[in-house]
Amino acid sequence: MKIESQNVTDYPNSNTIFMVWRLVDDPKLKEIFQQLSALVLNLNNSVFNRFPDSRASCVMGIGHNAWKILELPTPLPKELVNFEEIRGDKHTAVSTPGDLHFHLRADDKSIIFDMAIEISKLLTPVAESILEIHGFKYWDDRSILGFVDGTENPHNEDRDFFAKIGDEDLQYKGGSYLFTQKYLHNINAWRSLSVEEQEKVIGRSKENDIEMSDDVKPSNSHIALANIEGENGEELKIVRDNMPFGSPSMGEFGTYFISYASTFSTTKKMLTNMFIGDPPGNHDRILDFSTAVTGTLFFIPTKNMLDDFSG
């Protein structure tokens, strides 16, 4: 049987809705989860048939506790755990709850808005919505801090290699580990920096998105700490699909960090570099302006598994 993954390697587009839900104890929970699995498959098929050029998709992730509550296949995916906070001297990658995560994407917001409505109608009797963020494309794929985001993302066949589990775990081949964080930016403090100072924080030029040379780039810049290698110098990457969000009248400006990876240990190594530092104490300078207020790990089952879950 051909393994078909969910749309974890789709490229970012113009509009996104992120939703996190917490399950409640209800006798209909498993029945509704079966219906939900079928709905996710149907939503993807429907939007592709109706709007083939919209780049629309719905990706569902499942947290550790939900996997056990719903009595999904065992053993669990090898690295699916409840994320444990990573505490540095100054900053902390917090751990927050979450049972189900939905990543809705489309160039036309109407499509994902209707998707979110259908998912919410089905889930509301057995789950509580604990996070909903509407992301949008900002200029030429920049974060609200003004720098291009996702420059180091892999492309073409590398996206599959770094985002999806391979033959090393045949039970969950084609699946993916999803880690998410909601970051809030201190935009006034950030804008008080000169462009040159901002570039040193990021490790790239602001206008042209050119990475600084190693002899110029500060060791605590975001690029220096977020780009990681394995023990033998091999390249380690994740597929990011970050999106900016905000409410200017409320003074809220943020980035929803979202990564798909074939192994969570890659993302964890990056987070450790950022929050604890490499060496320890040399934390990512961007964290002085961006605070992580959530942090949750999910597993993305394949479409084949969703079909099985739907009964």
Around 8, how many Cα atoms within 13 Å sit in the side-chain half-sphere? 35
Q: Which of 98, 105, 122, 148 is nearest to 18 (CA)?
A: 105
Q: Give the Å distances, CA to CA, from 88 to 211, 268, 269.
A: 26, 14, 13
Active site residues: 149
What local confidence, expressed as pLDDT, does residue 228 receive? 93
What local confidence, expressed as pLDDT, does residue 233 receive? 87
For residue 225, give the amino acid letter. Answer: L
What local confidence, expressed as pLDDT, does residue 61 receive? 99
For residue 56, give the amino acid letter. Answer: A
Segments of the chain scoring below 70 in pLDDT? none
259, exposed or middle or buried, with CB in 10 Å at 0-12, 13-18, 19+? buried
Q: Give start and end residues of each alpha helix (H) in the chain.
A: 29-50, 64-69, 109-123, 157-163, 187-191, 195-202, 222-226, 264-275, 303-309
C-beta separation of 1 from 304 below 8 A: yes
Q: Tokens for 12, please give them.
A: 């970012």
What local confidence, expressed as pLDDT, does residue 1 receive? 81
What local confidence, expressed as pLDDT, does residue 79 receive? 98
C-beta atoms surrounding 240 within 10 Å: 21
Q: Give the Å distances, CA to CA, from 268 to 65, 185, 225, 265, 271.
A: 19, 22, 12, 5, 5
Tell me: the pLDDT tens digits for 203-254? 999 999 999 999 999 999 999 999 999 888 898 999 999 999 999 999 999 9
Go through 27-48 and write b for each residue having 16 or more CB atoms within 10 A of its CB, e for each that does not: eebeebbeebbbbbbebbebbe
